[in-house]
Amino acid sequence: MNSFKRMTSMFTVLAVLSAATSCGSNVGGGSADNNAPVSTESTTAAQEAAAPAVTEAAADPAASTDTATFVSGTVTETTAVTTVASTETTSSVTPEFTLDSYDITVSVGGTKTPILSVQGLQEVWTTSNENVAVVDEYGHITGKSEGNCVVTISLKDKPEQKAEVKVTVVAADDGLTYIQGMLIANKTYSLPADYNPGGLTPETQAAFNNLVQGAANDGINIYLSSGFRSYEYQSQIYNNYCSIYGQSTADTFSARPGHSEHQTGMAIDVNIIDDSFIGTPEALWIEAHCNEYGFILRYPQGKQEITGYKYEPWHIRYVGIENAQKIREKANEVGDPYLTLEEYLKIDSVYQN
């Protein structure tokens, strides 16, 4: 009888120990069952509730397991949402901006600037076509030639934050013709009689000063013989040549009033203004180096049918260093050492009457 009681007592102890061990598997501890029904359902509900804003860390299964263990096998919806919200609060959010206009019209040579609703941003401005319009770092959009393009503004550190402005460039209402940003005066395109920049443009004068110095450094003497000419002065010159040589001959080397590049304030005749200048060291230097200073040889040899004027190695035209280099590059590309402005811009030079 005593033996039977001892055996019964032992079975009772074992049963109690077994129950205690079983309970321990469902209460927080290193050997927790991560697939227990209660924990899985609670975790899934919390993840689904916070799904729209789940971060990379919250999506990690291991991270979900650690959270379940920490709260002793019970993950509440409130706990999960609070964790995600905390993550969102610490992330940086790019401020949005708007413009006062997304569709502007500007005349050739004119400038307009879209206004930002948020100031102090580090914005980047770009244009889809520099031949139509250019834009500087401050958003000043300047028309270069008639046409359409798109100017884009984006944030320096957040390039995905951007806006686009449709730009339409129309002809200037002052009677001037700009093509790819260059003022044109030839037999086809004229200038108004009252157009008068008052002399060589400051850019032209400064560039010519640099050219003269560059030539001097090479032992070449270049000087200005004729610069700006007003409409009235060109009329006197042209009419005088017509009376001496006749109009048809005069038209081969002298421009009609309103059609002279000298009236633009960006054309210069250097040194000797006649055929004796041809082949001189000065003429050869001009042909080889004027583009380095923003000038082009305006009436090259063999191009009379294109420009409408005979070869004039003394006549140079300021177009800016960038344009001068582009024209030279294009000339090299087509194997022509002296590409004319008409060829480069694909325009003609023919009097209409």
Decide if 76 is inside a domain: yes
Helix, strand or coil, per DSSP, at residue 313: strand
Q: Could you tell me the two tokens for 197?
A: 């920049």
Of 148, 173, 198, the one marking the end of a domain is 173
The residue among 295, 112, 293 whose CA lies nearest residue 216 is: 293
Higher pLDDT, 16 or 328: 328
What number is the average pLDDT over the span 158-167?
90
Ranges 131-145, 309-323, 328-342, most confident: 309-323
Give the per-residue pLDDT at 119: 75
Point out which residues pair with 268 in neighbouring strands.
Answer: 316
Decide if 138 is inside a domain: yes
Task: Find the CATH number of the domain harbouring 133.
Answer: 2.60.40.1080
Point out which residues pair with 103 in neighbouring strands.
Answer: 166
Decide if 133 is inside a domain: yes
- Residue 320 banded pLDDT, cuts 50, 70, 90: very high
- Return the active site residues: 312
Q: Do the strands 103-107 and 178-179 form a parallel or antiparallel pair, or are they unpaired?
A: unpaired
Range scoring the smallest mean pLDDT among 78-82, 272-276, 325-329: 78-82
Looking at the fold, whether 216 and 283 belong to one and the same domain comes out as yes
- Residue 323 banded pLDDT, cuts 50, 70, 90: very high
Give the per-residue pLDDT at 157: 85
Decide if 341 is inside a domain: yes
What number is the average pLDDT over the span 116-144?
89
Give the per-residue pLDDT at 108: 86
pLDDT in tens, 224-261: 999 999 999 999 999 999 999 999 999 999 999 999 99
Residue 16 has pLDDT above 70, yes or no: no
Decide if 98 is inside a domain: no
Residue 17 has pLDDT above 50, yes or no: no
Looking at the fold, whether 63 and 158 belong to one and the same domain comes out as no
What number is the average pLDDT over the span 113-125?
86
% of the chain with per-residue pLDDT over 70: 73
* Number of domains the chain is built from: 3
Of 131, 148, 173, the one marking the end of a domain is 173
Q: What is the CA radius of gyration of the chain?
A: 40
Of 142, 173, 204, the one marking the end of a domain is 173
Give the per-residue pLDDT at 83: 35
Decide if 196 is inside a domain: yes
What number is the average pLDDT over the span 81-92?
37
Q: Angle at CA 135, nearest 5°, toward 131 and 138?
A: 170
Looking at the fold, whether 225 and 263 belong to one and the same domain comes out as yes
Average pLDDT of every residue of the chain? 79
Decide if 28 is inside a domain: yes
Decide if 96 is inside a domain: no
Looking at the fold, whether 189 and 107 belong to one and the same domain comes out as no
Residue 183 has pLDDT above 50, yes or no: yes
pLDDT in tens, 268-289: 999 999 999 999 999 999 999 9
Domain enclosing residue 48, as ranges: 2-90
Please state, in angstroms and rounded to a whole number, the distance separating the CA atoms of residues 207 and 223.
Answer: 13
Helix, strand or coil, per DSSP, at residue 335: coil
Give the per-residue pLDDT at 94: 46
**Global pTM value:** 0.60
Looking at the fold, whether 295 and 167 belong to one and the same domain comes out as no
